[in-house]
Every structure is written in structure tokens, then in C-alpha cells.
Structure 1
Amino acid sequence: MAVLVTGGAGYIGSHAVAALLEKGEEVVVVDNLQQGHREAVTGGRLYEGDLRDEELLDRIFRENEIDSVIHFAANSLVGESMKLPGKYYHNNVYGTLCLLEAMNRAGVKRIVFSSTAATYGEPESVPIRETDRTEPTNAYGETKLAMEKMIRWFETAHEFRYVSLRYFNAAGAHESGKIGEDHDPETHLIPIVLQAALGQRPHVSVFGEDYPTEDGSCVRDYIHVSDLADAHILAVERLRRGEASAVYNLGNGQGFSVKQVIDIARRVTGRDIPAVIEPRRSGDPAVLIAASDKARAELGWNPRRSELEAIIASAWGWHRARPQGYRG
């Protein structure tokens, strides 16, 4: 039996594909390659296409013995989602509906969903727990929450079972050095910092230094992308055992400020990385840290790469070897 990975040519999806292959799983990938990279798919069977293509989805389920789905495919830029909410609802929400309906036609009822901490919005407490209120402050988070709810209703109506994984800031690169983070445009802090270290951008912008944190800059929870991939496999195994649907946070449970990330990157790279203080961005909470004890207890998930210095070092190895990403 195979696992279908949607968005498996993307950053986190490609690491999940690699982890599944390392476990000896048969893997099928579908990706429209608008954001993903063909070179990032290290094995399995790749279908190039869109989830909104009903004929393609039916063909994928017909041609492969799929028993579980891991769903990554989505647009994920917060700023863009505020300017183009229609794009996000059509791709993320409607795309997920197409996937769920195709799964139902094929009799495949297990799905692991790549969700996000953006479903919480402004945190009511730190660390954030799965039982905290969900009030997204941007269209991206709102679509992810809508996708979670849709999957839950498919459980009620069609006996699906699911695991939704809400995670925080993915970072790092695969230990093989073959796959890493390559976005265009790049919006994530650690690759932006490393691009500055490589001289590909003049400086790193620090958006605000008057937050109620130790050094005034925002604090975030960083997790190695391979640890995230491991959690998705554990979630598939949970569903295969027939256990109940669930929602889990994934994070290290500790936070690092923007300024701390830059300082650690300077140590790791041995390079001067200029930083420029700029005004706050709208909607940036001061602190986002995950409580992930539920995932540890119920999934048996244990992050093995939790030191931020090691996470940044793995990313630095990727960016230094492939300064142009998959294009170089």
C-alpha cells in the first residue's frame, strides 16, 4: 500500500517523502510545481498536476493502491493571502474539497493534514495549547482552519479519520544535503538571514524592537523540518492502527527572538550579517511558542534536532552548497 503526498515537491512535503522512503514506504506524489521543485522529490511516483483536476485525482487513486494521504498542498504566504484571499480560498479550501471527494470515491479514509499555528491568531496564552481558541488574523490561517473543519465533517459524514498537525516555524535541511528550503520569494527568517550571509541581500530586516520580549524583537518556536516529517509518519501509523482522529501542535517548546536567530547565524556562518530595524508588521504577535506535550505523549514524537544552532547549521550547509537553490 502507498502513501499519497500532496505538495510533496515543496519544502516540508519533500522532507516527508524522503522520510517515508527511508521507512520503506511506497510513495506517490502529486504537485503542480508552482512552488515545489521536481528535483526535491527523491523517489516515488510523481504526478505533475493540480488537486482541482478531478480526472487526475481519480486516475492517481485508480493507478495506485493508496491507503493514506498526507496533505501539504496549499498556498502559504500570509501577506499575499491578505491581498489575494480569493486565491487562497480557491486553492486551499476548494483544492482540499476536491481531494476529500476523490478520496471518498476511492474509499481512502485516512488523512494527515499539514495545518499551522496561524489557526490560533493572537495567542491567549503561552505556550499555545491545542484547546486554545482559534481566531486567525489572516486569510491564510482562516483557510487552514476551514480545511481542518471540512476534514472533520468528512469524518462525521463519511467515516474519515484524520490527524491535523499545527506547526510553527519549520527550518533546516535534510542531513543528506540533497534537499532544503528554496522559496521564491523567500519570506522565512532563517533562509533570509543566510542569504544575507551569502551576500545575496544587503541586510536582514528586523520588524520592530519594541515588543514585550527580552530584546524587543518577536520570539518564535523553530523546529527542524526533518522532525516535522517524522511527526507526519507517526500520524499515519496512528491512523493505520485505527486510533481516533486528533489535533496536535508541533514545536520545540522554546522560543528565540529575531535578534537571537541573527546572532546564532553569525556564529554558525562566521560572517557579518547586517541587520536593520524597521517598523513593526501588522499582525505579528510578540511571542509564538507551542506546547507539544500532547504530540509527544500520544504520537510518541520526540524531536531529535532541537538545538537552534544545529538547525541553522544544517540550513547553512544547504544554502552554501546550493546558493541558487534548485536552480543552481
Structure 2
Amino acid sequence: MILVVGGAGYIGSHVVNRLVETEQVVVYDNLSTGCREAVNEQAIFIEGELADEKRLTHVFSLFSIKTVVHLAAASPEVESNENPQLYYENNVTATLVLLKVMREHHVKNIIYSSTVLTYARTNEPLHEQSYIETTNSYARSKYFSEQILQDYTLAYKMNCIVLRYLNGSGSQEGDLVNAFSLALETVAKNEQVFKIYNLGNGQGSLVKEIKETNEEITNNNINLSSSRIEDQPVFIESLKKIQQELGYYAEKNLQHMISNAWNGHQNKNFNF
């Protein structure tokens, strides 16, 4: 059985849609940014705070959980420097609670959703060993959690895969969901592993290009400030490592991803 923490969110709900095809899934979410209606009916849903050790322990006692997919986080990075306590409590302290409960119930497998915002901004392709330069509390909280996970993997013989990405889009047929599936297969067949992988389509997209593609597909006008429209891509991930080690390939371009997301959600009242 797989526990998806944050499984009622945009990416989480699509990951759950894929997982229920072959696995029993429990979704644990506080619904602060997620949507209950987005959770697949085949999954068991439990509302709760990740930092609530008592409630989380109850969940692990009820179900035979083998692997955790950790997608829960306070994420709007623009706000994180204004209220760092919220981000460190939600993203670091709560992760420590999760890991403690996992250890108590002998659950050793975890997939962690991280961010390419851990890297220094550049127009060069980013590799997993690229220079780290976090510029806000959100990115730092994610990077600190990665370091904690690495320590736990080594000390407690856990299996952890960290996926770094930004601005996911599409549905359960998209590139990100495929990567989560491959990551789950990898931790399931290893006894001790800690790996970090970049995700994306290996291409940068201008804000102007995204705006125009959205307008073309949805027939809606999108109003953005002139400064945003002129933004240049600053995170272009190299996918060489995940391609070679997990067999992951990004098959969708920008138009495919936006069409996929629009077709999948235009008739659903999901409050993402």
C-alpha cells in the first residue's frame, strides 16, 4: 500500500490517478491547497496535518504502508521570505515528523517532491551536481529536507528518491507522473538508495510563449504585466541522469501539456 501525502493537490491527484490503476493508495492531506473532489474514488482519503504525529501514527497503524510519496508543502516561494516560520514548520518540521513515524512502523521507502529552485539561476542546462544557491525560504526548506532525507537514508538504511522539478502541468498521462511511477519501481527493488533526479522536458519556455499557447488552446485572454511577458527561462533541466538510470523520457511538448491540462480540468470544479 502506498501513502500519498499531499495527494489532493494538483500534482498529487494526478499521481494518485496513476497509482490506483495497480496499487492500493491512501491519500493524506490537510486540504489547505488541495481539493477533496480531485482525489480518485478508488483511493482512501484521510484529512489531517502532516505535523500531527498522533493522527499520522494512527494512519500507519491502520494500513500496511510500504512506500510514502511526499508531495505536501507550503509552496508559493514569493511569500516564503515574508513568513519563513510557516515554510520551515510545514516543509521541514513536518517532514521530520513523517520520517519519525515511518521509522516507528518500519517503512523505508519514500519519494520526495522537491524543486529546481535549489539551483543557482542560469540559462545553462542544470545537472544534479549544479551549483546550489537558494534565494528564498521555500527553496531552502526543500533543500534542508533533502539533506535530512540523505542522512536518514544512510543512518537507517532507507530508500529515497528526490525529484526536482518546477511548474508541473498536464494530467496522469503527463511527464511528471511517469517519473513518479519509475521512482516507485526503483525504491521497491532496492535495499538502500538515495538518488536525486531532475525532471522536465529539457527545454525552457518563455512566459510569452506560455501565454500565447494558453490563449490559443483555451480561447481565453490572459493578462500579464509587460515585465512578466519579457521573462527569460532561467531553469532548463538536464534529463541525462534520469534517462540513463530510470529510462525516463519527456514525450510531451508545451502544447501537448497545456492541451492535456485544459481537456482534463475544464469541466471539473477543482480549487487548485
Gaps of 5+ in 1: 176-225
- Displacement of 1:17 in angstroms is 0.7
Matching residue of 1:113: 112
Cα distance in 2 for partners of 1:286, 1:174 equals: 25
Cα distance in 2 for partners of 1:252, 1:44 equals: 29
Aligned partner of residue 83 in structure 1, secondary structure:
coil
Matching residue of 2:102: 103
Aligned partner of residue 270 in structure 2, secondary structure:
helix
Matched to 1:321, the amino acid is: N
The 1:273/1:153 distance shift into structure 2, 3 A limit, reads: closer
2:266 is aligned with 1:266: no
Gaps of 5+ in 2: none
Q: Pairwise CA RMSD of aligned residues?
A: 2.0
Matched to 2:245, the amino acid is: E
2:178 is aligned with 1:230: yes
2:259 is aligned with 1:313: yes
CA contact (8 A) 1:74 1:92 kept: yes
Matching residue of 1:326: 270
The 1:276/1:157 distance shift into structure 2, 3 A limit, reads: closer
Matching residue of 2:243: 296
- Displacement of 1:268 in angstroms is 2.0
CA contact (8 A) 1:116 1:144 kept: yes
Identity fraction in percent: 39
Matched to 1:140, the amino acid is: Y
Give the alignment's TM-score, normalised by structure 2.
Answer: 0.92
Which 10-residue stretch deviates more, 47-56 or 259-268? 259-268
Matched to 1:263, the amino acid is: E
Cα distance in 2 for partners of 1:4, 1:319 equals: 24
Cα distance in 2 for partners of 1:279, 1:302 equals: 30
Matched to 2:248, the amino acid is: W
Alignment of structure 1 residues 57-206 onto 2, 5 Å: 57-123=56-122, 126-174=124-172
Equivalent residue for 2:190, pick from 234, 242, 252 = 242
The 1:87/1:67 distance shift into structure 2, 3 A limit, reads: same
Aligned partner of residue 125 in structure 2, secondary structure:
coil
Cα distance in 1 for partners of 2:6, 2:180 equals: 14
- Residues 250-289 of structure 1 show CA distances to partners (whole Å, capped at 9, x for unaligned) of 01111110111122223223455455414799xx875211
The 1:275/1:113 distance shift into structure 2, 3 A limit, reads: closer
CA contact (8 A) 1:250 1:290 kept: yes
The 1:172/1:55 distance shift into structure 2, 3 A limit, reads: same
Q: Which has the larger radius of gyration?
A: 1
Aligned partner of residue 169 in structure 1, secondary structure:
coil
The 1:272/1:141 distance shift into structure 2, 3 A limit, reads: closer
Give the alignment's TM-score, normalised by structure 1.
Answer: 0.77
- Displacement of 1:300 in angstroms is 1.4
CA contact (8 A) 1:122 1:136 kept: no
The 1:227/1:273 distance shift into structure 2, 3 A limit, reads: same
